[in-house]
A = this chain, B = another copy of it.
Amino acid sequence: MFSKACEYGIKASIFIAINSFEGKRVSPKEIAKEIDSPQAFTAKILQALVKHNIVNSVKGAYGGFEIDKDKTAAIKLHHIVNAIDGDSIYNGCGLGLHECNEAHPCPVHDKFKSIRDELKFMLENTSLQELALNIKSGISFLKV
Protein backbone atom coordinates (compact mmCIF):
# COMPACT_ATOMS: atom_id res chain seq x y z
CA MET A 1 0.00 0.00 0.00
CA PHE A 2 2.42 2.63 1.26
CA SER A 3 6.19 2.51 0.84
CA LYS A 4 8.31 1.82 3.90
CA ALA A 5 9.44 5.45 3.75
CA CYS A 6 5.82 6.56 3.91
CA GLU A 7 4.99 4.24 6.79
CA TYR A 8 7.94 5.64 8.73
CA GLY A 9 6.93 9.18 7.77
CA ILE A 10 3.40 8.76 9.11
CA LYS A 11 4.52 7.15 12.35
CA ALA A 12 7.29 9.72 12.85
CA SER A 13 4.85 12.58 12.32
CA ILE A 14 2.51 11.14 14.92
CA PHE A 15 5.31 10.80 17.45
CA ILE A 16 6.57 14.30 16.80
CA ALA A 17 3.03 15.65 17.18
CA ILE A 18 2.57 13.95 20.53
CA ASN A 19 5.76 15.51 21.83
CA SER A 20 4.97 18.89 20.37
CA PHE A 21 1.76 18.91 22.42
CA GLU A 22 4.08 19.01 25.42
CA GLY A 23 6.50 21.49 23.92
CA LYS A 24 9.21 18.87 23.44
CA ARG A 25 11.44 18.51 20.39
CA VAL A 26 12.60 15.04 19.42
CA SER A 27 15.65 13.66 17.63
CA PRO A 28 15.81 11.08 14.84
CA LYS A 29 17.27 8.72 17.42
CA GLU A 30 14.28 9.00 19.75
CA ILE A 31 11.86 8.80 16.85
CA ALA A 32 13.48 5.72 15.34
CA LYS A 33 13.41 4.00 18.70
CA GLU A 34 9.77 4.82 19.29
CA ILE A 35 8.50 3.81 15.85
CA ASP A 36 10.96 0.93 15.39
CA SER A 37 12.63 2.19 12.23
CA PRO A 38 16.22 2.57 10.94
CA GLN A 39 17.53 5.82 12.34
CA ALA A 40 19.49 7.25 9.42
CA PHE A 41 16.77 6.37 6.95
CA THR A 42 14.19 7.98 9.20
CA ALA A 43 16.33 11.11 9.32
CA LYS A 44 16.21 11.30 5.53
CA ILE A 45 12.44 11.04 5.56
CA LEU A 46 12.26 13.79 8.16
CA GLN A 47 14.22 16.02 5.81
CA ALA A 48 11.54 15.46 3.17
CA LEU A 49 8.77 16.25 5.64
CA VAL A 50 10.60 19.44 6.61
CA LYS A 51 10.89 20.47 2.96
CA HIS A 52 7.16 19.95 2.57
CA ASN A 53 6.49 22.12 5.59
CA ILE A 54 4.82 19.35 7.54
CA VAL A 55 7.52 19.14 10.17
CA ASN A 56 9.69 21.93 11.50
CA SER A 57 13.34 21.37 12.35
CA VAL A 58 15.58 23.31 14.71
CA LYS A 59 19.29 22.87 14.28
CA GLY A 60 21.94 23.04 16.93
CA ALA A 61 21.96 22.31 20.62
CA TYR A 62 18.51 21.81 22.12
CA GLY A 63 17.20 21.47 18.59
CA GLY A 64 15.17 18.66 17.09
CA PHE A 65 11.95 18.11 15.21
CA GLU A 66 8.60 19.60 16.11
CA ILE A 67 5.21 20.30 14.62
CA ASP A 68 3.30 23.48 15.25
CA LYS A 69 0.63 22.50 17.78
CA ASP A 70 -1.99 24.53 15.96
CA LYS A 71 -1.25 22.77 12.67
CA THR A 72 -1.86 19.16 13.71
CA ALA A 73 -5.59 19.39 13.14
CA ALA A 74 -5.07 20.78 9.65
CA ILE A 75 -2.37 18.29 8.68
CA LYS A 76 -4.13 15.34 7.10
CA LEU A 77 -2.69 11.95 6.23
CA HIS A 78 -2.77 12.77 2.55
CA HIS A 79 -0.32 15.64 3.11
CA ILE A 80 2.23 13.19 4.49
CA VAL A 81 1.48 10.48 1.93
CA ASN A 82 1.67 12.94 -0.94
CA ALA A 83 4.97 14.35 0.30
CA ILE A 84 6.58 10.91 0.29
CA ASP A 85 4.73 8.61 -2.10
CA GLY A 86 2.86 11.04 -4.30
CA ASP A 87 -0.79 10.59 -5.19
CA SER A 88 -0.58 7.41 -7.23
CA ILE A 89 -2.21 5.26 -4.54
CA TYR A 90 -5.57 6.87 -5.04
CA ASN A 91 -5.10 8.63 -8.38
CA GLY A 92 -3.05 6.11 -10.36
CA CYS A 93 -4.45 3.23 -12.39
CA GLY A 94 -4.76 -0.04 -10.51
CA LEU A 95 -3.18 -1.94 -13.40
CA GLY A 96 -0.61 0.67 -14.38
CA LEU A 97 -2.21 1.98 -17.57
CA HIS A 98 -0.87 5.42 -18.46
CA GLU A 99 -4.30 6.58 -19.48
CA CYS A 100 -7.12 5.19 -17.40
CA ASN A 101 -10.43 6.95 -16.97
CA GLU A 102 -14.16 6.59 -17.56
CA ALA A 103 -13.69 6.89 -21.30
CA HIS A 104 -10.77 4.47 -21.44
CA PRO A 105 -10.88 2.29 -18.32
CA CYS A 106 -8.58 -0.55 -17.37
CA PRO A 107 -10.23 -3.88 -16.54
CA VAL A 108 -10.57 -3.04 -12.86
CA HIS A 109 -11.23 0.69 -13.11
CA ASP A 110 -14.89 0.50 -12.05
CA LYS A 111 -14.24 -2.18 -9.47
CA PHE A 112 -11.64 0.03 -7.85
CA LYS A 113 -13.55 3.26 -8.06
CA SER A 114 -15.29 3.20 -4.70
CA ILE A 115 -12.21 1.79 -2.98
CA ARG A 116 -10.00 4.53 -4.35
CA ASP A 117 -12.59 7.16 -3.44
CA GLU A 118 -12.96 5.86 0.07
CA LEU A 119 -9.19 5.74 0.50
CA LYS A 120 -8.83 9.26 -0.79
CA PHE A 121 -11.60 10.52 1.47
CA MET A 122 -10.06 8.82 4.46
CA LEU A 123 -6.59 10.25 3.76
CA GLU A 124 -8.00 13.73 3.24
CA ASN A 125 -10.11 13.65 6.39
CA THR A 126 -7.86 11.97 8.91
CA SER A 127 -5.86 14.48 10.89
CA LEU A 128 -2.51 14.05 12.52
CA GLN A 129 -4.13 15.38 15.68
CA GLU A 130 -6.62 12.58 16.09
CA LEU A 131 -4.01 9.92 15.33
CA ALA A 132 -1.67 11.44 17.91
CA LEU A 133 -4.39 11.68 20.55
CA ASN A 134 -5.26 8.01 20.03
CA ILE A 135 -1.66 7.02 20.64
CA LYS A 136 -1.45 9.26 23.68
CA SER A 137 -4.53 7.71 25.23
CA GLY A 138 -3.38 4.16 24.53
CA ILE A 139 -6.07 3.43 21.96
CA SER A 140 -3.54 2.64 19.24
CA PHE A 141 0.17 1.83 18.98
CA LEU A 142 3.22 2.91 16.99
CA LYS A 143 5.14 -0.33 17.08
CA VAL A 144 5.32 -4.14 17.52
Contact residues of A with B, CB < 8 Å?
Answer: 1-2, 4, 7, 10-11, 14, 77, 89, 92, 94-99, 104-109, 111-112, 114-115, 118-119, 122, 126, 131, 134-135, 139-144
Contact A141 B94 (CB under 8 A): no
Number of copies: 2
Determine the distance from Cα of A104 to Cα of B141 in the docked complex, in whole angstroms. Answer: 7
In the complex, the chain B residue whose C-beta lies closest to that of A128 is: B107
- Given A115-B122, A126-B108: A97 touches B14 (CB 8 Å cut-off): no
Determine the distance from Cα of A98 to Cα of B7 in the docked complex, in whole angstroms. Answer: 13
Contact A114 B118 (CB under 8 A): yes
Determine the distance from Cα of A112 to Cα of B89 in the docked complex, in whole angstroms. Answer: 14
Determine the distance from Cα of A107 to Cα of B7 in the docked complex, in whole angstroms. Answer: 11
Instruction: Chain B residues near A107: list those with CB within 8 A.
Output: 10-11, 14, 131, 134-135, 140-142
Instruction: Chain B residues near A94: list those with CB within 8 A.
Output: 1-2, 7
Instruction: Chain B residues near A118: list those with CB within 8 A.
Output: 114-115, 118
In the complex, the chain B residue whose C-beta lies closest to that of A96 is: B7
30 A–B contacts from the bound complex (CB under 8 Å): A1-B1, A1-B89, A1-B92, A1-B94, A2-B94, A2-B95, A4-B96, A7-B94, A7-B96, A10-B95, A10-B108, A11-B95, A11-B107, A97-B141, A97-B144, A98-B144, A104-B141, A105-B139, A105-B140, A106-B141, A106-B142, A107-B131, A107-B135, A107-B140, A107-B142, A108-B131, A109-B140, A114-B118, A115-B119, A118-B118
